[in-house]
Chains A and B, each alone.
Chain A
Amino acid sequence: MAAIGVHLGCTSACVAVYKDGRADVVANDAGDRVTPAVVAYSEREQVVGLAAKQSRIRNISSTVVKVKQILGRSTADPQAQKYISESKCLVIEKNGKLQYEIDTGEETKLVSPEDVARLIFSKMKETAHSVLGSDANDVVVTVPFDFGEKQKSALGEAAGAAGFNVLRLIHEPSAALLAYGIGQDCPTGKSNVLVFKLGGTSLSLSIMEVNSGMYRVLSTNTSDNIGGVHFTDSLAQYLASEFQRLFKHDVRGSARAMMKLMNSAEVAKHSLSTLGSANCFVDSLYEGQDFDCNVSRARFELLCSPLFNKCIEAVRALLQQSGFTADDINKVVLCGGSSRIPRLQQLIKDLFPAGDLLNSIPPDEVIPIGAAIEAGILVGKESTSGDDSVLIECSARDILVKGVDESGANRFTVLFPSGTPLPARRQHTLQAPGSISSVCLELYESEGKNSVKEETKFAQVVLQDLDKKENGLRDILAVLTMKRDGSLQVTCTDQETGKCEAITVEVAS
C-alpha cells in the first residue's frame, strides 16, 4: 500500500511517498525535491512552484506567497493583520473571510487562501502520482503545533479539495521524530528530544518526550522573526551596500533591484552551506550596471551571527522554561531548510554535548518523510475515526529502586518512568551479590530526578533464604505492572531458585 506525506510550509512545500516499506521524497517535474509554495495568477492559468517564484519580479501583485500564514485566520487575528500589511498582494475581507484580490490584467479575481493552498496541494499530488500512479490518494498532512482548530481544518479541507484523502493531520515535530524512527523500535524506554525547526520564516522549537514509543510535546516555542528569509535578507543587504560602495548607487529604494538581489543572495546562501565561497552575479542590477561579488562562508557567518545568537538564545529560553538542562536532552532533530547552515549545526552541537544531533536526512525533507511514514502506518487500516482521543492515562511519578554501586554509595535506578502510558508492564533484571542470602528491593516514588528522599519510600520486597553462592552475582527479575488507575503490582523472582514475592500497592484515595 502506497501512501503520501505532504508538508506545506510558508515558503516551500515538499512531498514524500511511502512505498515498499520505506519513505522517500519525490522530486517534482522540474527535478527539485522541494517546491516553492508560490502561486502566480495570470489571465488564463495559475503557475505553482519555481516558475511562479522566478516571475515574481515582474508581477509581484498577482503572485501569492506565504499562504500558510493567513490560512484559516480571520481579520481580527494579529498575525493575519501583520501578514496583510506586509503582503504585496491585496488582501480584502469579504463575507467575513479574507481573500486575495488579484488583478490579472483583464479582470480582477477573488481568490481565497484555501484555494491557493489547494493549488499547491494539487501540485504535490501530481508530483506524488508521478511515482505512485494516480490511485494513491491517502495522505498525511503536517501542521505546526501552534495551529488552531480553524487553521487545521482549513488546511485539511484544502488538501481534500485537491483530491487527497486526508488520513490524519499530524504535528510537524512529531513527524520529524517519526522520520528518524525515534522510539519506534521498542515500546519501552524514555527519552527527551528537541526538535529544532528553522523554516523559511519562523523558528519553532519543541521539546518532546518519547515514552513507550509515544510522543508528548512538553513545551514549545515559536518565534516569527528568525527564518531563512532573514538570512537571505542580511546577505542581500550586504550585497546592496557592496554595490553602493562600488557604483555609488543605493539600490535599497528600488523594489525590483532588491528582489533581484534577494534571489541572487538566496542562491549564494544555499551554496555557502556546502562551499567555502559563493559568487553573486546580477545582470543589469541598476541602470544597466552588472553586479558581481564573491561572498565567503566566513563573511556570511559574520553577517548572520546576530541571527545565530537569536536561535541559540531561543533554545536556551525553552530549556529554562521547561526546567530542563542541556544534559536532559538525549537527541536533537534538525529540520527546516535553514538548519543546513553548518555554523548553526556547530553551535547546536556545542550546546548539547551529550545529545545526538540528528541530521542524516536533509533537514527540509525530514517532516514530509515523517508524514509519509505515518501515512504508511495508517493506510489500509480500517477507518481510525478522525477524532482519535489523544488523551491517555500516564503514570505520574517515577518508580525507583535503591541499590549500591561498587563504591558502596546509595544509588537509585528508575524502574518505571513517569509519563508511561498506562496500562504498562516493565521488566528489569537486577543483580545482587551472590554472597548474601536475602535481597531487599526498596521502592521509592519521585517526581523530579534529584528529589528522592527517604520518606518517599512506599514499599519493599524481600526475598529470603536464597542459596548462597561463593562468588558471582544472582539475577533478580522485577516485574512492575501499573493499571490505568495508577495502582502498581510488583513481582520479584529469584531466577535461580524461583522464589517469588509479589505485592500490590493501591493509590491513596
Chain B
Amino acid sequence: MLLLPSAAEGQGTAITHALTSASAVCQVEPVGRWFEAFVKRRNRNASTSFQELEDKKELSEESEDEELQLEEFPMLKTLDPKDWKNQDHYAVLGLGHVRYKATQRQIKAAHKTMVLKHHPDKRKAAGEPIKEGDNDYFTCITKAYEMLSDPVKRRAFNSVDPTFDNSVPSKSEAKENFFQVFSPVFERNSRWSNKKNVPKLGDMNSSFEDVDAFYSFWYNFDSWREFSYLDEEEKEKAECRDERKWIEKQNRATRAQRKKEEMNRIRTLVDNAYSCDPRIKKFKEEGKAKKEAEKRAKAEARRKEQEAKEKQRQAELEAVRLAKEKEEEEVRQQALLAKKEKEIQKKAIKKERQKLRNSCKNWNHFSDNEADRVKMMEEVEKLCDRLELASLQCLNEILASSTREVGKAALEKQIEEVNELMRKEKEEADARMRQASKNAEKSTGGSGSGSKNWSEDDLQLLIKAVNLFPAGTNSRWEVIANYMNIHSSSGVKRTAKDVIGKAKSLQKLDPHQKDDINKKAFDKFKKEHGVAPQADSAAPSERFEGPCIDSIPWTTEEQKLLEQALKTYPVNTPERWEKIAEAVPGRTKKDCMRRYKELVEMVKAKKAAQEQVLNASRARK
C-alpha cells in the first residue's frame, strides 16, 4: 500500500527539469485488436493533440451544461398535443437557441428541468388547471424528448428543421459580393454532410487546389438529410400487414421524391456558386492565358524550326542543283567536243573515202575490163570500209601524187594487205574452232578414237549412219558401228565405243564444223562425179552474166537517180520498174532491174563479210 507524502512547507507545483529522452521508435508485432485500433487511429490522423483538443471540448461542454440557459418557450402552454408533429421540439425543451448542436446530455438536462417545472403533479400542487389525460401540454414535452433523445428520430426532425433556410441564392444575387452571399449558405448546408471537415468556401486568394477540393466535395455531396418526418401516414397506425406495406410504399416514394429535390437543391446551389465564382473565372482565364501562351510559344518554336528547316532544304537544293548543272554542262561540253571530233573524223574519213573512190574512178579502176573494174570497185569499197583514216590518207596521197601504175600497185598492195588480214582473221578463227573441236574429240574419244583417224569419208558415213538409225534403235551404236565397218572404205575396224565417242564429239562441234564437213562432202561429190554438173551450173550463170558485162557501167549520176527512183516508188507500186526506168534516162527497165539485183548482191556480200568478222571476234572471245 503506497501512500503519497504531504508537501513540505513552501513547496509548490514545479518542474525541476525537462524530460531527458524523447519518445523511442520501436518495432511492434502487427497482431491483436489493440494494434489494429492503434493503426486505425493513426491513419485517421487523429493525433494526440487532436485527441486532447477533443477532450478539452468535451470538458468545456460539460462545464457549459450547467451554465446552459434554457429559453422558456412562451407559447408552451398553448400547444396542442395532437398537433405534436408541427411543434418545434427544440423550442419546447427550451433549446431553441442551440438546436441541432445540442448534445444528448444537454437535451437530457433540459428535459429534466422541464419536467420538474411542468409536470402535472407539480402544477397540481401549485394549483394550476390541468387538462385530462393526453390533452395536457406536458405531453408535448414528453413527445419532444422522445423525438430528440432517439438519434434516428432526432435526425429525422433535424432534417426538416423548420428554422433551416433552404433557399438558394440566384446567380444575379451573387454578381457583386459572391463571398458574402454564398459563404453563409454553404456554412449552413454543410451540416447535412456525412463527412466531417467540410471544406470552406474560402476567399479570393484561395489556391486552385483548395477551390477544386471545395467544388469536388460539394458536387459529390453525401447528405444524411432524410424526410421520414414528413411522412403523411404513420406505419404504426396501420391495421394489417397489407396496409402497412402500402403505407411503407407510399412513404418511400415521397421520401425518395423529397430526397431527390434536396439533391437538386444542393446541386443548384453548387452550380450557381460555380458559375458565379470569380475565382473559377480567374483560374479559367489564367489557364486560358497559360494555354494560349504555351500554344503561342509552341507555334513560334514550330515556325522557327520549320523556317530553319526550309532554309536548310533550300540551301541543299540549291547546292545540288548547282552541282548538277555544272556536271551537266561538263558532260554536254564533252559530248559536244566528242561529237565534233567524231564528226570531223567522220567527215575526214568520208572525204578520204570519196577521194579514194574518185581517184580510183579517175584511174578508171586501173583496168579496162568491165569485170575487173567492178571487182576493183568492190575491192575499193572494201578498202573504204576497213582502212583507218591514217592509212586511207596515206593511200590517197600516194594515189594523188603518183602515176597510174604506182597508184595501182599501192592500191593493190593495200587490197592485198586487207585481204590478207581478212583471210588471216578467218584462218585464225577456223584454227581456233578446229582446235576446240579437236580438244573435244580428244577428251571424249579417249585412247580408242584418239589413235584411229577419222577420215572425211568415215565422218560422212558416220553422220549418215546416225541419221539412218535414229535414237531408239535396238542396240543402236553396235548397229552403227557394224554399218560403218561394212560400208567404210578405210578398212579401219571401229567399235561401238569409238562410234559413240565420235558422234558425241561431232554433236559438240560447232555447226560451222558440220557445215564444213558437209561442204567438203559436196566438193568431194563434185570431184567424184566429174565436171559435167559444174559446167551445167556454170553455163547458165555465164549466159546470165554475159549481157550484164556487156552493158555500159552505171555512172554515179545514174546510180543516184536509180536510188532516188527506188525510194520514190515503193515495192507495191504498180508497174514499178517501168516508172523507175523512166526516172533514169538512158536505161531500160531491164537495166534497172539488173542493176538493182547487182546492188542487192553487193550489199548481201558485204553483210555476210561483216557477219563473218563479227562471228570470228565472238568466237575469239
Contact indicator per residue, chain A 136-173, by CB within 8 Å of chain B (1) or not (0): 00000000000000000000000000000000101101
- By the criterion CB–CB under 8 Å, are B3 and A459 in contact? no
Chain B hits for A390, CB < 8 A: 27-30
Chain A hits for B468, CB < 8 A: none
- By the criterion CB–CB under 8 Å, are A395 and B11 in contact? no
Residue A266 is within 8 A (CB to CB) of chain B in the complex: no
Chain B hits for A217, CB < 8 A: 27, 29
Q: How far is the CA of A390 from the CA of B23 in the complex (A)?
A: 15
Residue B6 is within 8 A (CB to CB) of chain A in the complex: yes
Chain B hits for A2, CB < 8 A: none
Known: A374-B31, A392-B25, A488-B19. A460 touches B3 (CB 8 A): no
Chain B hits for A484, CB < 8 A: 23, 47-48
- By the criterion CB–CB under 8 Å, are A396 and B29 in contact? no
Chain A hits for B42, CB < 8 A: 392
Known: A184-B32, A405-B3, A436-B6. A505 touches B38 (CB 8 A): no
Chain A hits for B36, CB < 8 A: 377-378, 381, 384
**Residue with the highest number of chain B CB atoms closer than 10 Å, among A168, A213, A482:** A213
Residue B335 is within 8 A (CB to CB) of chain A in the complex: no
Q: How far is the CA of A388 from the CA of B38 in the complex (A)?
A: 11
Residue A487 is within 8 A (CB to CB) of chain B in the complex: yes
- By the criterion CB–CB under 8 Å, are B34 and A214 in contact? yes
Chain B hits for A391, CB < 8 A: 25-28
Residue A445 is within 8 A (CB to CB) of chain B in the complex: yes
Chain B hits for A488, CB < 8 A: 19
- By the criterion CB–CB under 8 Å, are A476 and B4 in contact? yes
Q: Chain A: which residue is nearest B49 at the CB level?
A: A483
- By the criterion CB–CB under 8 Å, are A445 and B20 in contact? yes
Known: A403-B2, A486-B22, A488-B19. A170 touches B30 (CB 8 A): yes
Residue A357 is within 8 A (CB to CB) of chain B in the complex: no
Name the interface residues of B34-49: CB closer than 8 Å to any CB of A. 34-39, 42, 47-49
Number of A-B contacts (CB under 8 A): 202
Chain A hits for B49, CB < 8 A: 483
Picked from A212, A216, A439, the residue with its CB within 8 Å of the CB of B6 is A439
Known: A377-B33, A432-B3, A476-B4. A458 touches B24 (CB 8 A): no
Chain A hits for B47, CB < 8 A: 423, 483-484
Picked from A213, A438, A489, the residue with its CB within 8 Å of the CB of B7 is A438
Q: By the criterion of a CB under 8 Å from any partner CB, how many residues of chain A are at the interface?
A: 82
Name the interface residues of A403-449: CB closer than 8 Å to any CB of B. 403-406, 411, 413, 419, 421-423, 430-433, 436-442, 445
Picked from B6, B12, B16, B27, the residue with its CB within 8 Å of the CB of A432 is B6
Residue B241 is within 8 A (CB to CB) of chain A in the complex: no
Q: Chain B: which residue is nearest A392 at the CB level?
A: B28
Residue B127 is within 8 A (CB to CB) of chain A in the complex: no
Q: Chain B: which residue is nearest A447 at the CB level?
A: B21
Q: How far is the CA of A63 from the CA of B269 in the complex (A)?
A: 73
Chain A hits for B29, CB < 8 A: 170-171, 173-174, 208, 214-217, 390
Determine how close the nearest CB of chain B comes to the CB of A195; give it in whole angstroms.
Answer: 11
Q: How far is the CA of A402 from the CA of B35 in the complex (A)?
A: 32
Known: A458-B15, A461-B13. A485 touches B32 (CB 8 A): no
Known: A432-B3, A440-B8, A483-B49. A506 touches B34 (CB 8 A): no
Known: A374-B31, A487-B19, A506-B18. A439 touches B7 (CB 8 A): yes
- By the criterion CB–CB under 8 Å, are B6 and A438 in contact? yes
Q: How far is the CA of A405 from the CA of B28 in the complex (A)?
A: 36
Q: How far is the CA of A403 from the CA of B7 in the complex (A)?
A: 12
Picked from B19, B34, B39, the residue with its CB within 8 Å of the CB of A184 is B34
Residue A503 is within 8 A (CB to CB) of chain B in the complex: yes
Determine how close the nearest CB of chain B comes to the CB of A91; give it in whole angstroms.
Answer: 33
- By the criterion CB–CB under 8 Å, are B21 and A388 in contact? no
- By the criterion CB–CB under 8 Å, are A437 and B28 in contact? no
Chain A hits for B13, CB < 8 A: 460-462, 501, 503
**Residue with the highest number of chain B CB atoms closer than 10 Å, among A177, A431, A438:** A438
Chain A hits for B37, CB < 8 A: 187
Contact indicator per residue, chain A 444-474, by CB within 8 Å of chain B (1) or not (0): 0100000000000111111110000000010
Residue A481 is within 8 A (CB to CB) of chain B in the complex: yes
Q: Chain A: which residue is nearest B39 at the CB level?
A: A388
Q: How far is the CA of A384 from the CA of B35 in the complex (A)?
A: 12
- By the criterion CB–CB under 8 Å, are B32 and A459 in contact? no
- By the criterion CB–CB under 8 Å, are A406 and B6 in contact? no
Determine how close the nearest CB of chain A comes to the CB of B43; give it in whole angstroms.
Answer: 9
Known: A391-B26, A392-B26, A462-B13. A486 touches B32 (CB 8 A): no
Q: How far is the CA of A372 from the CA of B29 in the complex (A)?
A: 16
Determine how close the nearest CB of chain B comes to the CB of A19; give it in whole angstroms.
Answer: 17
Residue A93 is within 8 A (CB to CB) of chain B in the complex: no
- By the criterion CB–CB under 8 Å, are A440 and B6 in contact? yes
Chain A hits for B126, CB < 8 A: none
Q: How far is the CA of A128 from the CA of B519 in the complex (A)?
A: 112
Chain B hits for A212, CB < 8 A: 34
- By the criterion CB–CB under 8 Å, are A395 and B23 in contact? yes
Picked from B15, B23, B30, the residue with its CB within 8 Å of the CB of A503 is B15
**Residue with the highest number of chain A CB atoms closer than 10 Å, among B12, B16, B28, B31:** B31
- By the criterion CB–CB under 8 Å, are B3 and A384 in contact? no
Chain B hits for A396, CB < 8 A: 21-24
Q: How far is the CA of A404 from the CA of B6 in the complex (A)?
A: 10
Determine how close the nearest CB of chain A comes to the CB of B31; give it in whole angstroms.
Answer: 4
Q: Chain A: which residue is nearest B48 at the CB level?
A: A423
Q: How far is the CA of A464 from the CA of B8 in the complex (A)?
A: 10
- By the criterion CB–CB under 8 Å, are A374 and B2 in contact? no
Q: How far is the CA of A380 from the CA of B240 in the complex (A)?
A: 39
Name the interface residues of B520-567: CB closer than 8 Å to any CB of A. none
Q: How far is the CA of A476 from the CA of B20 in the complex (A)?
A: 26
Chain B hits for A462, CB < 8 A: 7, 11-13
Residue B75 is within 8 A (CB to CB) of chain A in the complex: no
- By the criterion CB–CB under 8 Å, are B22 and A214 in contact? no
- By the criterion CB–CB under 8 Å, are B30 and A421 in contact? no
Chain A hits for B6, CB < 8 A: 432-433, 436-440
- By the criterion CB–CB under 8 Å, are A174 and B31 in contact? yes
Chain A hits for B1, CB < 8 A: 405-406, 431
Chain A hits for B12, CB < 8 A: 462, 464
Picked from B14, B35, B48, the residue with its CB within 8 Å of the CB of A460 is B14
Chain A hits for B16, CB < 8 A: 457-460
Determine how close the nearest CB of chain A comes to the CB of B174; give it in whole angstroms.
Answer: 40
Q: How far is the CA of A167 from the CA of B81 in the complex (A)?
A: 57
Chain B hits for A384, CB < 8 A: 36, 39
Known: A174-B29, A431-B2. A440 touches B11 (CB 8 A): yes
Name the interface residues of A181-200: CB closer than 8 Å to any CB of B. 183-184, 187
Q: Chain A: which residue is nearest B12 at the CB level?
A: A462
Residue B129 is within 8 A (CB to CB) of chain A in the complex: no
Chain B hits for A433, CB < 8 A: 3, 6
**Residue with the highest number of chain A CB atoms closer than 10 Å, among B1, B13, B15:** B13
Residue B51 is within 8 A (CB to CB) of chain A in the complex: yes
Picked from B2, B7, B17, B38, the residue with its CB within 8 Å of the CB of A421 is B38
Contact indicator per residue, chain A 368-395, by CB within 8 Å of chain B (1) or not (0): 0010001001100100100010111111
- By the criterion CB–CB under 8 Å, are A216 and B27 in contact? yes
Known: A423-B47, A423-B51, A439-B7. A508 touches B20 (CB 8 A): yes
- By the criterion CB–CB under 8 Å, are A481 and B3 in contact? no
Residue B491 is within 8 A (CB to CB) of chain A in the complex: no
Q: Chain B: which residue is nearest A406 at the CB level?
A: B1
Chain A hits for B20, CB < 8 A: 397, 445, 458, 508
Those 9 A-B pairs whose CB atoms lie nearest each other, nearest first: A213-B34, A423-B48, A436-B6, A440-B7, A486-B23, A174-B29, A508-B18, A432-B4, A403-B2
For the complex with contacts A174-B31, A393-B23, A395-B24, 9 further pairs of A-B residues with Cβ separation under 8 Å are A187-B34, A213-B34, A216-B28, A217-B27, A388-B30, A393-B26, A439-B6, A483-B48, A484-B47
Could you write out 10 A-B pairs with CB less than 8 Å apart?
A: A183-B34, A216-B26, A384-B36, A391-B28, A392-B42, A397-B19, A411-B2, A483-B52, A503-B13, A508-B19
Q: Which B residues are closer than 8 A to A by beta carbons?
A: 1-8, 11-39, 42, 47-49, 51-52
